[in-house]
Amino acid sequence: MDAIILAGGLGTRLKEVVKDLPKPMAPVNGKPFLQYILDWLSSYPVKKIILSVGYKYEAIKDYFGDNYGKIPIEYAIENEPLGTGGGIKKALEKTTENAVVIINGDTYFPININELHNFHINNISSVTISLKRMEKFDRYGAVSLKGNVITRFEEKKYCENGLINGGIYMVNKEMSSLMLTYPDKFSFEKDLLETRLKTGFVQGIVFDESFIDIGIPEDYIKSQSILK
């Protein structure tokens, strides 16, 4: 399989603690947050990594270069923010394997990718989303699941317990053809996934691994001890 990592985040809410760096390069215990993702990812049969980058992407390219261990790295560079959909669309052009795992570059959710892939294939899914069960949360919208099929994405609000989108997707290379029908700039979640829920297009699988999101200063600070 190939892997796409969405690493173009501006890190607006982190600017008070991390300045002049793209969000995935925020230092955690002396190394970039993105490196933890790459360490986890490289333990799976990934043929190529495509980093979808934009804001100050030179910092990422200078640090990681053209490979990570034995895995080649390519860069899909956004000259202007294209949204998650636009970033994925551009990165998919560089994939060659049929199976593609897509990962948010500002979250660490070290699931079993082989299990995600097998579920995706066995259930003949178009898009499979990794889900995480959480309690007492308001930063994320809850996800409704009926059997294996995702039926609804809730708006962000306080929730006692529920499932959230873990930010890791499995798709097939043929997704590139579908994305050609979309503009260069769009949201993968809002404009593509949410509009296709009634067709059973999107399926989900729940994982129990720890979930870290460095999107706000409080959780970024927590990540220093969690990933120690």
174: number of Cβ within 10 Å: 12
Measured between alpha carbons, how far is 220 from 204 in angstroms, rounded to an integer?
Answer: 27
For position 21, what pLDDT does the model report? Answer: 83
For position 228, what pLDDT does the model report? Answer: 80
Q: Smallest Cα–Cα separation from 104: which of 60, 55, 52, 57?
A: 52
Angle between the N-to-C axes of helices 57-64 and 33-41, in degrees from 0 to 180, rounded to the nearest 10: 50
For position 13, what pLDDT does the model report? Answer: 65
For position 216, what pLDDT does the model report? Answer: 80
HEC string of the chain? CEEEEECCCCCHHHCCCCCCCCHHHCEECCEEHHHHHHHHHCCCCCCEEEEEECCCHHHHHHHHCCEECCEEEEEEECCCCCHHHHHHHHHHCCCCCCEEEEEECCEECCCCHHHHHHHHHHCCCCEEEEEEEEEEECCCEEEEEECCEEEEEEEECCEEEEEEEEEEEEEECCHHHHHCCCCCCCCHHHHHHHHHHHHCCEEEEEECCCCEECCCHHHHHHHHHHCC
Taking 50 as the pLDDT cut, the residues of the chain under it are none
The domains of the chain are located at: 2-226
For position 204, what pLDDT does the model report? Answer: 97
The CATH T-level fold of domain 2-226 is Spore Coat Polysaccharide Biosynthesis Protein SpsA; Chain A (3.90.550)
For position 202, what pLDDT does the model report? Answer: 94
